[in-house]
Amino acid sequence: MKLTIQDHQKLAQTAAHDVEKHLEKAISERSVAHLILATGNSQLKFLASLKKTKIQWNKVIVFHLDEYLGLDQNHPASFRNYLRRNIIDVVKPHLFYPLDADREDLDQMIKEYAGLLRRHPVDVACIGIGENGHLAFNDPGVADFNDKKLIKEVLLDIDCRLQQLNEGWFEHMDAVPKKAVTLTIPAIMNANHINCFVPDDRKAKAVKNALEGDILASCPASVLRKHPSVNLFLDPPAASLLS
């Protein structure tokens, strides 16, 4: 694992160039690249920097990590909505495959999306780390390092839901969905390269547990230490508890 610590703005630029380098390598080898993008307030500066790179977006196929169950895609908190507003509608990739978690035939959607992931091996997974150490919506309690599924329905824990509330996506706790669909830990770990962008002091405890604690599903992000190609981007507040 390569660790970079810089101020938030510079960090975003460095992380964006890391993605650019790996995508362009994939494009040069196969004429197409496959990318997973994360969402949330912590990713906004990173996505803004990503839009300024010279990535050949017309040769990139984009997936995303997770989505609330049953939430309309036009809802302000929908991650499909977030990605379209913050990057997809601007860079116009070759294809964007959203997680349509409001479909009535959810099981079929999950099956189809897993099939897409199998047909399009991911070159770069851009992820963050949640305040409870989650990767995507793989919270402690549902994270499975040996999951046989690539995508699944999950129950969100209270800390995860509180994070969404405190970030301002919902007006009150009852409005925060209790379920979601998420790419699993193996789906993320299958990526050739992982770009993990984690700013803010509210992530400091999770970062410390992920890097200095045992590799356990109680801190899902700790599994990143088993991947052969991870670049972890921290700002000083996020790194503040590291020994």
Per-residue model confidence as pLDDT tens digits over 44-78: 999 999 999 999 999 999 999 999 998 888 988 89
Amino acid 197: pLDDT? 98
Residues 133, 221 contacting (CB under 8 angstroms): yes
Residues 78, 72 contacting (CB under 8 angstroms): yes
Residues with Cβ within 8 Å of residue 30, at least 6 apart in sequence: none
Render 68-85 in DSSP notation, one character per residue.
ETT--TTSTT-HHHHHII
Amino acid 162: pLDDT? 84
Phi-psi region of 109 (alpha: psi -120 to 50; beta: other; left: phi over 0): alpha
Amino acid 171: pLDDT? 85
Structure token digits, residue 65:
């990590």
Structure token digits, residue 48:
């803004």
Structure token digits, residue 77:
């908190």
Residues of the chain falling short of pLDDT 70: none
Amino acid 183: pLDDT? 98
Query: The whole model's pTM is what?
Result: 0.95
Which strands sit side by side in the sheet containing 66-68, from one edge to the other? 66-68, 179-183, 151-155
Amino acid 26: pLDDT? 98
Amino acid 24: pLDDT? 98
Amino acid 159: pLDDT? 83
**What span, in angstroms and rounded, lies between the C-alpha atoms of 241 and 112?**
41
**Distance separating the N- and C-terminal Cα atoms of the chain:** 16
Amino acid 64: pLDDT? 94
**What's phi and psi for 182, nearest 5 deg?**
-145, 145
Which DSSP letter does residue 173 get?
Answer: G
Residues 150, 183 contacting (CB under 8 angstroms): yes
Amino acid 5: pLDDT? 98
Amino acid 70: pLDDT? 81
